[in-house]
Structure 1
């Protein structure tokens, strides 16, 4: 029996149905015809080529991971940036984020701003949050609301829990100017966390403010959900500098006080919003490869639960100023420590924060590259810390002063597939050759739903050539600046499909840098 390998190639500039034999669904022909006529690709029963997909369910991959899926059954992968902690988010921020290929914003909000005085909510701040989500609706960016705190709140010179909700029992607080994280171990901060977890009036106030925000923001199509508590911390009996005491305290917190808080906060959000995803964070010890001791949680919404796991991915030595040492097995330890909990409870993983303070040194640049590859192995999404601009690649900023990716952080801006009709297998980008490759295993969704590609101008300034093997006849249409939709109506379930995008030579119908289509 002769086997013929079907190969289809496209140059991304104008939408066109490929001239290869084989039936193409009417909906696909309609999408191509509309695009060729100058209209946006249609949203059809086969899927959408323009709208950002929204997680509505999950599936379990062959390797045991729980992956986001949308209403078409496509596997979703989210990539984005953190913003909003210290600066005001503008429409330009959201537009730039979308232009650079990201589809997720982790928006840092603080209780102190929502409720600056007991029972008096900041209506101006709530309107601001509503505007930000309105811009996200417009630019098709998903928003994860992060209830952020660092070292409890402003009573200790940081942000998060309002001063009126801070109870120290008169214990001392002596900040360390050289190590802000050490402030967590100060007696006053330890007391403040204990009261937040234990005092009935503070628990009630926290429940009410979460419900208030959920009520104000529900209904936005960009709202992915809520990260319930950033980097939870608590009392550390014994010696805070002793790693064994830290591990015991972390486990006790996760099994007890923190678990009880999460149950309250799940109920608070669900009292106002039945659809948002709710993400649980472990303590920061997960960054040292310590598995979480969190129990399982019940989502009271009707139908399947919408809970996720949102750890952070930081190397302690790098955070303290060291250049990353690839021989320290940080990534191996982290992956080993991170996998058990979401697998056992069938939760999708979204890494809420990651990235070194700067990536201009050789080790940290390699760390960025390896972390992107690592998260492709275990996570359904991630948000790099942080959306800002700085000279010489200093600090956590994702951009340099001229708005280009900061030196060493280019791998975070690589092309990817936000939605895959099938089971994604591998994904890679090679800067030296300008080649992006996605492999997937076709399933029942592959024939009828669009696979979406993000091919941003940061990596494909003149567009891209896309080739497909293993799928038979294929259709590619433009899906907006830097995006393309791929339909594989003849793909056989179980077949391995390979999609490759390469740099398009400037002399081949050169377009504006942000333009992506097909020809």
Structure 2
């Protein structure tokens, strides 16, 4: 049954069609929240108006209660030591609201330590609502009271071990039925809206907060309302889009500053390289970012990447359509290798990171844990290992001007941009990536180096009258 339901989901997700754009987004007064590069990439801006690039990892803790996220400070220090500037942290709905209408204050207080630790480590945090449904949602979805299944996605009943099926909870019809309630059941939908309004109201003043990732890998109910089949692409436009709009409106009632991140349906874009059918999300602050994931199906199922499949190139061809149509930053907010030691993992990492450089303003690798297998991508030394070792490289964190082109390959980082403003461009150079030292070549600018212990910050100032700045950081 698990595979049958998943086949239905995947088959439906391959159907064609395009969503229509909604009315124009109201303009915002003051400095623009984004800058568009000559490469077509839309970047968020920092308070000085520089193009902001985000590089980071996901840190996960599925435990509930007051001890959750207790490892955040140590993990964030490790990330920061390599020059990363961002972290994605899921929180679980079942931990947050184990009883209908009652939030767990111990869990909320535990999540506050995420912001404290991130602030200390100078990381920007994206909290993310994970689809670990509370038991009261699963009961409404048809589960018999008192029973449990690892497929439901509930931490309390063992979602960390989903068994041999790569589909896990995504192949369970009652889990999908719970997603249907998120869209169609007034009580469940209302609780999702209230949860995000509460969360944003509580944490919107946190200095380390970047934005809100509204749902981790949202899904739909293929048998909603008794239908024998439902078009997921229509559901993405007709159900997910208005829910995102309602959530954005609720968040904006308490927070007009931070970004709102939206993801497409699970598998459609990230695993099948299909264009999303999301419609426009209107935001008077113009701070909506598109945050899809990318996972090769062969690697997800435990195999190796097959370069001949052309998956990564098809993914980039499909994924850029939505952010280009709506003028949004593209953030690849989850990607990684299931086994970075597999023969073709290095090829996969190179293809993905080249696409991130060319098309995206940020990326989050999955996941920050030791083992070099089972999605853990750190070696025993606590550094990204095997194929993922190449992700530790110099990168421009803030670009003062209009970006033209960027490449952060293992042989060297190259950046070109048209300078603007009075602030320097900042390039982060982690020393772990250059054990023999590095050198900086410039055209049209001068630079200074500020040591930060385990990494250097290279500050680049354009020469007077320089129309273009060219920067190269490479091993000596």
TM-score between the two structures when normalised by the length of structure 2: 0.83
Aligned-partner Cα distance in 2 for 1:273–1:56: 17
Q: 1:116 to 1:430 in 2, by over 3 A?
A: closer
**1:468 alignment partner, SS class:** strand
Deviation at 1:56, TM superposition (A): 7.3
User: What is the CA RMSD across the aligned residues, in angstroms?
Assistant: 2.4
Deviation at 1:129, TM superposition (A): 1.4
Q: 1:475 to 1:188 in 2, by over 3 A?
A: closer
State the match for 2:115 in structure 1. Answer: 133
Q: 1:280 to 1:165 in 2, by over 3 A?
A: same
Deviation at 1:485, TM superposition (A): 3.5
Say yes or no: does 1:295 pair with 2:274: no
Deviation at 1:268, TM superposition (A): 2.3
State the match for 2:26 in structure 1. Answer: none
Deviation at 1:489, TM superposition (A): 4.1
State the match for 1:452 in structure 2. Answer: 426
Q: 1:475 aligns with which of 422, 435, 447?
A: 447
Aligned-partner Cα distance in 2 for 1:454–1:368: 20
- Stretches of structure 1 lacking an aligned partner (at least 5 in a row): 1-54, 150-159, 504-519
Q: 2:137 aligns with which of 165, 168, 176?
A: 165
Say yes or no: does 1:394 pair with 2:373: yes
State the match for 1:221 in structure 2. Answer: 207
Q: 1:271 aligns with which of 233, 253, 275?
A: 253
Deviation at 1:86, TM superposition (A): 3.2
Aligned-partner Cα distance in 1 for 2:36–2:350: 26
Q: 2:184 aligns with which of 170, 183, 198?
A: 198
Output one character per residue of 1:478-506: Cα deviation in whole Å (capped at 9) or x when no partner: 05231313232415353242333434xxx
Q: 1:462 to 1:128 in 2, by over 3 A?
A: farther
Say yes or no: does 1:306 pair with 2:287: yes
TM-score between the two structures when normalised by the length of structure 1: 0.76
Q: 1:497 aligns with which of 465, 470, 475?
A: 470
State the match for 1:249 in structure 2. Answer: 231
Q: Are the aligned partners of 2:393 and 2:413 in contact in 1 as well (CA < 8 Å)?
A: no
Q: 1:161 to 1:237 in 2, by over 3 A?
A: closer
Alignment: residue pair count = 420
**2:254 alignment partner, SS class:** coil
Q: 1:96 to 1:415 in 2, by over 3 A?
A: same
Output one character per residue of 1:71-105: Cα deviation in whole Å (capped at 9) or x when no partner: 32221111100012436333111111100111110
- Stretches of structure 2 lacking an aligned partner (at least 5 in a row): 1-30, 64-68, 152-161
Q: Are the aligned partners of 1:100 and 1:456 in contact in 2 as well (CA < 8 Å)?
A: yes
State the match for 2:313 in structure 1. Answer: 332
**1:101 alignment partner, SS class:** coil
**2:250 alignment partner, SS class:** helix
Deviation at 1:306, TM superposition (A): 0.7
Aligned-partner Cα distance in 1 for 2:447–2:392: 26
**2:232 alignment partner, SS class:** helix
Q: 2:164 aligns with which of 153, 157, 178?
A: 178
**1:373 alignment partner, SS class:** helix
Q: Are the aligned partners of 2:419 and 2:469 in contact in 1 as well (CA < 8 Å)?
A: no
Deviation at 1:395, TM superposition (A): 2.0
Aligned-partner Cα distance in 2 for 1:78–1:313: 17
Higher relative contact order (CA 8 A, sep 6+): 1
State the match for 1:102 in structure 2. Answer: 84
Q: Are the aligned partners of 1:466 and 1:501 in contact in 2 as well (CA < 8 Å)?
A: yes
Output one character per residue of 1:425-448: Cα deviation in whole Å (capped at 9) or x when no partner: 3444564xxx53322122323xx2
Output one character per residue of 1:387-424: Cα deviation in whole Å (capped at 9) or x when no partner: 1111xx22211211221322111122122111112333
Q: 1:77 aligns with which of 53, 64, 67?
A: 53
Aligned-partner Cα distance in 2 for 1:430–1:62: 20
Aligned-partner Cα distance in 2 for 1:426–1:398: 28
Aligned-partner Cα distance in 2 for 1:56–1:454: 25
Aligned-partner Cα distance in 1 for 2:314–2:355: 12
